[in-house]
C-alpha cells in the first residue's frame, strides 16, 4: 500500500501535505548517519537535549537510528509571543535532570523560526561549561530568522507558512500527525 493512501484525511484547517512520512523517515535516517559518523570515536555518551514539546517525535525517531553511546534529556521553554510581554524573550520552564557540564551536547529542536529559542539555549549551555555543542533542527524557515544560529543537522527548509504534524502543533492540535502539513492562514 502506498503511504499516501495511509494518510489520515486533511481537515478543513489543513491546506496540503508539505512533507510526507516516507520522505521524513529517509531524511531522519540521513541525519542520524551524519551524527553517527561525527561522534563514532567518542567514548562519553552524547547528550541529546530535546526541546519540549515540539521535538519529541523527531527526537524519538532520531535516537532509534543512532549507534553511538547517547543519553536523552529534555527541557521546556516558553517563548513570549505577540500577546503580552516583549517579543523574542525566552524563558526556561523545565531544566535538564543531569548537569551538562563537560558533556558533548546535541540540542534537538522542531523548527528554527526567529532563532531566539536556539540562540538562547546555545548561549546558556555554553555558559554552563559544555564540552561541545551542536544543534539538530527538523525544519527551517529562513525568511523568519532574526538571530543567527549555526545549525549542524537540518531536516528541511520550508517557506514562511504555519506547519503542523511530526511534533509541531497549532494550539495543541495536529501534533501527532505523521507528516508535515501546511495550515490555512488563521483568520
Q: Which of 61, 110, 113, 140 is catalytic?
A: 113
Is 113 among the residues known to form the active site?
yes
Q: How far is the CB of 83 from Mg ion (least distance, A)?
A: 17
- With H, G, I as helix, E, B as strand and everything else as coil, classify residue 172: coil
98: left (phi over 0), alpha (psi -120 to 50) or beta: beta
Q: Between 51 and 80, how does the x/- string for binding to Mg ion read (CB under 5 A)?
A: ---x--------------------------
Q: Does 80 bind ligand IMP (CB under 6 A)?
A: no
- The smaller minimum CB distance to Mg ion, of residues 54 and 165, is found at 54
Is 101:133 a contact under the CB 8 Å cutoff? no
Q: Between 100 and 139, how does the x/- string for binding to ligand IMP read (CB under 6 A)?
A: ---------xxxxxxxxx----------------------
* Binding to ligand IMP, residues 45-74 (CB under 6 A): 54
Cell 488563521 belongs to which residue? 186
Cell 503580552 belongs to which residue? 84
Q: What DSSP designation does 173 have?
A: B
- The smaller minimum CB distance to Mg ion, of residues 50 and 100, is found at 50
Contacts of 52 (CB under 8 A, 6+ apart): 74, 75, 76, 77, 94
Active site residues: 113
Amino acid at each position: 500500500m502506498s503511504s499516501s493512501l495511509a494518510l489520515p484525511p486533511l481537515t478543513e484547517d489543513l491546506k496540503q501535505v508539505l512533507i510526507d512520512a516516507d520522505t521524513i523517515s529517509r531524511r531522519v535516517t540521513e541525519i542520524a548517519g551524519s551524527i553517527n559518523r561525527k561522534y563514532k570515536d567518542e567514548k562519553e555518551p552524547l547528550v541529546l537535549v530535546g526541546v519540549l514539546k515540539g521535538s519529541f517525535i523527531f527526537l524519538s525517531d532520531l535516537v532509534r537510528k543512532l549507534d553511538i553511546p547517547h543519553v536523552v534529556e529534555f527541557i521546556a521553554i516558553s517563548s513570549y509571543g505577540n500577546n503580552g510581554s516583549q517579543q523574542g524573550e525566552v524563558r526556561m520552564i523545565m531544566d535538564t535532570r543531569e548537569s551538562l557540564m563537560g558533556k558533548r551536547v546535541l540540542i534537538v529542536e522542531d523548527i528554527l523560526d526567529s532563532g531566539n529559542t536556539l540562540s538562547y539555549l546555545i548561549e546558556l549551555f555554553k555558559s554552563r561549561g559544555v564540552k561541545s555543542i551542536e544543534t539538530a533542527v527538523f525544519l527551517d524557515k529562513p525568511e523568519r530568522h532574526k538571530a543567527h544560529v549555526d545549525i549542524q543537522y537540518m531536516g528541511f527548509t520550508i517557506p514562511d507558512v504555519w506547519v503542523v504534524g511530526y511534533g509541531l502543533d497549532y494550539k495543541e492540535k495536529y501534533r501527532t500527525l505523521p507528516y508535515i502539513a501546511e495550515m490555512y492562514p488563521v483568520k
